[in-house]
Amino acid sequence: MSTNQSTVVNRAVVRKQKQRIQWLPYILIAPAIVLIIVFLFYPVGNVFYFSLQRFNPAKAYENGFIGLDNFRAIFTSDKLFFSTLWVSAKWVFVEVVLQLICGLGIALMLNQAFKFRGLFRSAAILPWAISGVVTSTLWQILFNEQIGPLNDIFLKLGLIEHKIAWLSEVHTAFPAIVTAELWRGIPFFTIALLAGLQTIPGDLYESAVVDGAGRWKSFIHITLPFLKTTIILTTLLRAVWEFNNVDLIFVMTNGTGGPIDLTTTLPMYIVKQAIVAQDFGYGSALTVIGFIILLLFAVFYLKLSGYGKEE
């Protein structure tokens, strides 16, 4: 074989090897892409499809394409829809703010050196490890009017004069489920913020002490700036999760979202329409609206907070 022929063969072999190498990454990620399409994009597309349909298995003779009628009905004749939006906004704001404050406080304490610190760190994570249904059932028992220990303790302390139906009365139902979800959600912020605190160099605090800065100034000018990215990301994730929270509210209110829909968030209303009433078309339209709300919220929140632009 001549030198020119050998060179041509070598170039062909190298070209084939490059082509094989270029295709290899796509082959490796192909299973993940297939799973994402099957379990994410297909269900989402299905929801958008059914939002344009009237689909109720109990009334099959009425099923069919109706265009934007579901959305028109939601914004023009559904008075409960706007109420659920207000309850959802209030629920998300209260939960995220309280969980952030409490989680940050616990993280600051657990970041200090003291005896049995590892034990207390493990205990702080326990509520996060318990399933939502179990947590809901436990708190439902605690708030029970007849057998709940909370009423018994408050009666003995003289804080109340009679037993209270915490989950049924207008003024106590919302604070009760907020308390239960607060107990479950605090560990998420505690874990994330504790991890962020451990990345802050100790030399900065030592320099601040030398310059005469107290704990408060160190917290404002050192701790918070270093935790900014973590706080933005965790609050965004938690806001999305709390907006979609259904299990705790459903179990603690026995699936009613009561009393008089005072604890009915938008996802809870979707459950009522799609699962209970079997009106999948209307429930899908509500889901699409919720999806758009969360998408816009995430975009504006990240834009306003300047996430990813830190120096």
DSSP 276-303: IS--HHHHHHHHHHHHHHHHHHHHHHHH
pLDDT over 80 (residue 122): yes
Do you know the residue count of the chain? 311
Is the CA virtual torsion 77, 81, 85, 86 positive or negative?
positive
The pLDDT value recorded for residue 201 is: 87
End-to-end, the C-alpha distance of the chain in Å comes to: 61
Establish whether the linkage from the previous residue to 57 is cis, with ω within 30° of 0.
Answer: no
Distance CA 93, CA 99 (A): 10
pLDDT over 80 (residue 138): yes
Q: Which of 21-25, 142-146, 229-233 has the lowest mean pLDDT?
A: 21-25
Strands (E), 61-207: 64-65
pLDDT over 60 (residue 207): yes
Distance CA 185, CA 183 (A): 6
Mean pLDDT computed over 1-17: 58
The pLDDT value recorded for residue 244 is: 93
- Please answer whether residues 232 and 307 qualify as being in contact, where contact means their C-beta atoms are separated by less than 8 angstroms: yes
pLDDT tens digit sequence for 59-68? 877 788 998 9
Distance CA 136, CA 180 (A): 7
Mean pLDDT computed over 136-142: 90
Which comes out higher in pLDDT, residue 271 or 6? 271
Amino acid 172 reads T
In 3D space, the residue among 298, 279, 299, 295 whose CA is nearest the CA of residue 74 turns out to be: 279
Q: What is the DSSP letter of 113?
A: -
Q: What is the DSSP letter of 193?
A: H
Sorting pLDDT into bands at 50, 70 and 90, what band is 210?
confident
Q: What is the DSSP letter of 296?
A: H
Instruction: Please give the CATH architecture assigned to the domain spanning 74-305.
Output: Orthogonal Bundle (1.10)
Q: What is the DSSP letter of 221?
A: I
pLDDT over 90 (residue 204): no
Strands (E), the chain: 53-54, 64-65
Q: Which of 5-19, 116-130, 174-188, 265-279 has the lowest mean pLDDT?
A: 5-19
Q: Encoding tokens for residue 274?
A: 């799609």
Q: Compute the radius of gyration of the chain from its Cα atoms.
A: 27
Mean pLDDT computed over 118-147: 87
Mean pLDDT computed over 226-248: 93
The pLDDT value recorded for residue 3 is: 57
Q: Which CB contacts under 8 angstroms, 24+ apart, belong to 122-126? A: 124/186, 124/187, 124/190, 124/191, 125/187, 125/190, 125/191, 126/187
Q: pTM here?
A: 0.85
Sorting pLDDT into bands at 50, 70 and 90, what band is 132?
confident
Mean pLDDT computed over 223-228: 90
Q: Where are the domains of the chain?
A: 3-50, 74-305
Q: Which of 35-49, 171-185, 230-244 has the lowest mean pLDDT?
A: 35-49
Question: Whole-number mean pLDDT of the chain?
Answer: 87
pLDDT over 70 (residue 1): no
In 3D space, the residue among 274, 273, 265 whose CA is nearest the CA of residue 246 turns out to be: 265
